[in-house]
Structure 1
Amino acid sequence: MGKLRCFQIDLDNPQALYWSGQTVSGRALVDLESEMKMREIRLEFLGKSRVHWTEQHGSGKHRHTRHYSANELYFNNVVTVFGKGLGGGDEHTLPPGQHHFPFSFMLPPNLPSSFEGGIGHVRYVVKGTIDRPWRFDDNCVRAFTVLNALDLNQLPEANHGAEATDNKTICCLCCKSGPITGTIKINRIGYVPGESVYFEASVQNLSSRECGISAELEMATIFHATTKSKSTHQRINSIQHQTLMPGDSDVWGGDRFIIPPLPPSYLSGCNIIDVRYLVKLVVDPSGPAFDLNVPVEIIIGTIPLTSAVQQYQQTLSAVRPSAPPEVAMPSPSYNEFILGSTHIGNEEGGEHTQGQVDFTPTYTYYNWSRTT
C-alpha cells in the first residue's frame, strides 16, 4: 500500500520571496515509511488572481444567492519529476526512505505583486501531486511571494503634496446647526514601507455638538468581477486627537503614520484587483450623525524617492556629525503583511493537503533608523 510520512515543497530562498523574472528553485521531498506504487509525481507552478463574492437578491421564496467572480491566469506549468510523465508504463514504485526531486522555474516578467484580500487574491504556488492508482492522490502546496517593483521616481506626482477639504451640516429633526469643516494636508504622496507620513489637519466646529477627531491610514481595495465591482476598506492604523467643543477650531500637526509592510499601490499587472491607500481625517460628531471623512490618496511603492533618501541623509548627518557625507540608503528588509495570514490549503489542494496551508505574503520594508 505504501505509507507517506511527509510530502512537502522546500524553496532555496528561505524568505520565499521573488521579483518578476527571477528563478524559483527548490526540491520536493517525499518521505515514505514503505514502498509506494504510483503513476507519477508531478509539480505544478501556478500564478493566478481570483475574485469571488456572493450577494443575496430578492425576498421570500424569490430570495436567491448570486455569485460574482473573475479570474486571471499568469502561468501554469506542469512538470513530471518521477514516473509516467518521464516515460515507461502507468505503474511505478518508489522505495521507502527520503526522496528529493529538484526543480527550477523562471517567473515571467511583469507579474502583479502577491496579494491576499479575503474576497480576492493574487497568488503564486508550487503544487505537488503523487498520482496513485485506485486511491486518492496525495497533494502538497507551497505558496511564495512575488513582487513587482514600483519605483516612485517614475511617478512625477509622487513628490507632490496633496490637500483636501470637506464639510457637513448636522440636522436634528427640523433644526440645522452650523457646518463642520475639516482640512488635511501632506507635503508629498509617495512613500515606501518604513517611511513616516506626516500630516497637518484643521477642524472648525460650528455645530452644536462635541466632535471627536482622529486620523486613519486606510487600504481601499476594488475587486472587479465580470459584471460588477465591489470595494472594501481596511483600517491599517489610527491616531486619536482631542475632542473639539461646539464653536471651537483646532489645528493638528506633528503626528505621523509609519507605513507598515504593505503591497504596492495599484497591483500593476492585475486587471481585476486595484489597491489604493488613503490618509484620512475623521470628525465624529456626538449623537446620531455620520462622520465627516476627508481623505487624501498616497502611493506606496517599493523603491523610494531619491529626494526622500537625500532628506534622510541630511537628517542623519545633522544628528550624527561624524557620519560620512555620503550615507548609504538602508537596504530593504522583507516583512510579513500586517493583516496576517490566509488559509489556502482547501482551495489549492484539497482538505488533506500537506505543506504550507497558511500563507502570509511578504513585502519590502525600509528601516530608516539605521544604515547598511
Structure 2
Amino acid sequence: MTSKCTIQFDNNPLGVYYAGQTISGVAELITTRPKTIRSIYISVNGHSEVRWTESVYKQNNQGKREKAFETFSATELYFTSEKYVYGSNGGNQLELIAGKYVYPFQATIPPNAPTSFIGTDGKITYEVVMVIDRVLRYNNTFKQEFTVISPYDLNLNPMNGNLMEKEDRKVFCLSLCCGGKNPITIKARVPFSAYAPGQRIRFNVVLDNQSDVRCSDVKVRLMRKVTYNCHTPEIKTKWNEVKVSQVLLGEVVKQNRAEMNEFLEIPSTVPSSMENCSIIKIIYTLKFTVKLAGFYSDFDLVFPLTIGTVPLQASLMEEQESVIVGQPGAIPVFKPMPPPTYQEDSTAKGKYQDKTFIPKYPVFSYQNTSGTIRDPPANLYPSVVSHQPKAPYPTSPPPNDLNESLNGTNTSQIGWKT
C-alpha cells in the first residue's frame, strides 16, 4: 500500500464524546511515492442507516408472479463538516510528493445528536474521513469511527423512581394427567423503573407453586428490543429482541413456595433515549419467566425499564447503603460517586458490526462506595479537548511545504510535511 493514514483524537484515546462537545485531532498521512491529485479533504459526520432484504413476489414482463429479493432502507444525516486541507473542490491537478503530512481537524457535534449504536439491521455512526481526490484513479479514503453519547439523566423524570410490582398465576386443566386444580402464582417487585449500566437491579420474587407441575427454573432477563423503520421503496418496520443480561434462580418443586431476593447486573448497553433518531428505536424490558417441566408452556411477568447515562440518586442510596462510612448512631458520611468507565457494547453484533470498532457507553460501579448525588461529578463527561496538535508536530508549516512543488499554484494548505 502506497498511502497510510492514522487519525487520532486530541487527549481522547477512547474516542468517546458527548453530544454538544467539540471533536478535534489530527490525521497523519504517509505516502511512499508521488501522487497526482486534485485535493485532500477531511469530513466529520454523523448519520444513521437501516437496511435489510426480504424475499417478495413480483409480476414479471409476462405477467407471472415470480420470487425476487427486495431491499428496504432508510438514512438520516445528523451533521457533516467538510474542509479542504490541500487543493480545492474541482481544482487543478497537483502533485503530492512522497513524505509525511499532518492535518488537524475540528468539528462541533450537535447537542441533539443521537447516541452511537450498532444493531443487526441498522446503525447510528459517527466518523472522521480523509479523502485524497485522485486524477483518473479511485480516491483514497481513510475512516476512523468514534462514539457519541446523548446524555440521559434519569433524575429528570420523577416517574423513573416508581416502584414496580406485578402478580400472575397459572391454573392447569383438571383433565391433564400431570395437572391439578391449584395454581402457580408469581409475584415480582422491582424498586425502580430506570437504571444505568453497571448498576444492579435488585428484585424480590415470590413463587408459590401449589400445583402438581414442577417449575424447572425461574429466569430473570434484561431484554432490548430494537425497531427499524424504512422509507424506501415503501414504509415498513422490522424489529428484533436480544438478551442483554440474565440470572437463573433455580427450580421450585411442586407444592412448594420460594422467595428470592437477588440482583441482575446491567452490562454496557445503549441508553433507551433515541428521540432524535426516527428510523431506529430502542426499548428495554425486565422479564421474569417461569419455566415449567413437561409440555406446559412458560409464562412471564414483564416490566418496562429505562436505561440512562446518569443513575437515579435514590438507586445509588439503595446500591450503597451497606457500605456507609461512619460511627454507629452518627450522621452517615457518603463517598462521592465514582466516574464511569467507558466499555464496548456487550451485545453489538450483526452485519453492521465493524470488527475494528464497537461503540462504548458509560458504565458505573458502586460495589465499594456509597453516596447521595445531587449533581453529576465534574469528570462524568469526557472533557472538551485542546484543538491544537501536540508535539512533536510543529505549530505551523515549515518553509518548504507542499506548495513548493506547485510552481506558484494557489492552493489551500493547512497541514504540514515533516
TM-score, normalization by structure 1: 0.86
Q: Name whichever of 325-334 and 306-315 sits farther off.
A: 306-315
Is contact 2:326–2:332 with CA below 8 Å preserved after alignment?
Answer: no
Change (3 A) 1:198 1:326: closer
User: What is residue 353 of structure 1 aligned with on the other side?
Assistant: none
Tell me how large the CA RMSD over aligned residues is: 3.0
Pick closer, same or farther for the CA change 1:57–1:11 going to 2, 3 Å: same
Maintained 8 Å contact 1:40/1:84? yes
Shift of 1:343: 7.1
Q: Which moved more, 1:135-144 or 1:211-220?
A: 211-220
Give the aligned partner of residue 4 of structure 2. 6
What corresponds to 2:333 in structure 1?
325
1:252 to 260, 276, 291: 260
- CA distance 1:173–1:298, change in 2 (3 Å): same
Percent identity for Structure 1 against Structure 2: 28
Structure 2 residue 315 is the aligned partner of structure 1 residue 308: yes
Q: Deviations over 1:82-111 (max 9, x none)?
A: 1233x9x42111121211111111111111
Partner of 1:124: 126
The amino acid across from 1:40 in the alignment is: S
Distance 2:34 2:290 in 1: 68
Q: Any conservation in 2 of the 1:153–1:304 contact (CA below 8 Å)?
A: yes
Matched, 1:283 2:290: yes
Q: For residue 42 of structure 1, what is the aligned residue in structure 2?
A: 41
The answer on whether the counterparts of 2:245 and 2:265 sit within 8 Å (CA) in structure 1 is no
Structure 1 8/245 Cα, relative in aligned 2: closer, same or farther at 3 Å?
same
SS in 2 for 1:24: strand
- For the structure 1 residues 15 and 52, does the alpha-carbon distance in structure 2 shift closer, same or farther, using more than 3 Å as the test? same
CA separation of 1:198 and 1:312: change in aligned 2, threshold 3 A: closer
Partner residue in 2 for 1:349? none
Aligned partner of residue 63 in structure 1, secondary structure: strand
In structure 2, which of residues 216, 223, 226 is the aligned counterpart of residue 221 of structure 1?
A: 226
Amino acid at match of 1:115: F
57 and 251 in structure 1: CA distance in 2 versus 1, 3 angstrom threshold: farther
After TM superposition, the structure 1 = structure 2 runs for residues 1-372 of structure 1, keeping only pairs within 5 Å, are 4-12=2-10, 13-57=12-56, 62-85=66-89, 89-168=91-170, 178=181, 179-212=183-216, 213-226=218-231, 227-253=235-261, 255-311=262-318, 314-318=321-325, 325-340=333-348, 358-370=356-368
Query: Letter of the aligned partner of 2:238 in structure 1?
Result: K
Q: 1:225 to 1:75 in 2, by over 3 A?
A: same
Contact 1:317–1:323 (8 Å) recurs in 2 = no
Distance change in 2, residues 1:292/1:58 (3 Å):
farther
Report how many aligned residue pairs link the two structures: 357
Deviations 1:188-229 (A, max 9, x none): 112111211111112233554322222112212222223232
Q: Equivalent residue of 1:243, what SS?
A: coil
Residues 121-142 of structure 1: CA distance to partner in whole angstroms, max 9, x if unpaired? 1111111211111111111111
CA contact (8 A) 1:183 1:281 kept: no
1:244 corresponds to which letter in structure 2? V
SS of the counterpart of 1:359?
A: coil
- Pair 1:250–1:330, CA change in 2 (3 A): same
> Which segments of 5 or more consecutive residues in structure 1 lack a partner in the other structure?
346-355
Provide the secondary structure at the position in 2 that maps to 1:30: strand
Q: CA deviation at 1:177?
A: 5.3
Q: Which amino acid is 1:266 matched to?
A: S
Cα distance, 1:230 vs. partner? 2.3
